Amino acid sequence: MKLNSPAFKNNEAIPVQYTCDGQDINPPLEISDMPEDTKSLVLIVDDPDAAAGDWVHWLVWNIKPQTKEITENSVPSGAVEGTTSFGQPGYGGPCPPKGTHRYFFKLYALDTDLNLDQNADKQQLEIVIKDHIINQTELIGLYTRR
């Protein structure tokens, strides 16, 4: 299973338009080599380098397994966005107060669909998916504010 972005390569800088200093929209993502028995996908975007601990930038679940791309500034049809560290559903771009932070785009293939309300946060999501992960991959982007 692979997750890539045409906007940045693994362990390279996330373009400013996808951050709080730009348009604050999600970058385009490409998904490939999905396990055949995948029933749904989950995407978790977080920043483990945040001073307050892990900062959640985006949660998306019930992404259809045939999804090959998530275009910029969009949510796949039928998918659900969960509550981020910003206190609401939706994408919140990188905005580190100082230094370079790493942003992990983690993709999980599950053997089930999820029955979760959009008020669910990362902790609740991880508990529910724990026993249903078939495969996983990640893409790491970096960002430093000027």
What's the CATH number where 51 sits? 3.90.280.10
Query: Average model confidence (pLDDT) for the chain?
Result: 96
Find all residues with CB under 8 Å of 97, minimum gap 6, and list them: 51, 145
Identify the domain containing residue 92 by its residue range.
2-144
Check whether 49 has a pLDDT greater than 90: yes
pTM of the full structure: 0.97
- Count the domains in the chain: 1
Q: With beta carbons less than 8 A apart as the criterion, state whether 89 and 121 touch.
A: no
- State pLDDT tens for residues 67-125: 999 999 999 999 999 999 999 999 999 999 999 999 999 999 999 999 998 899 999 99
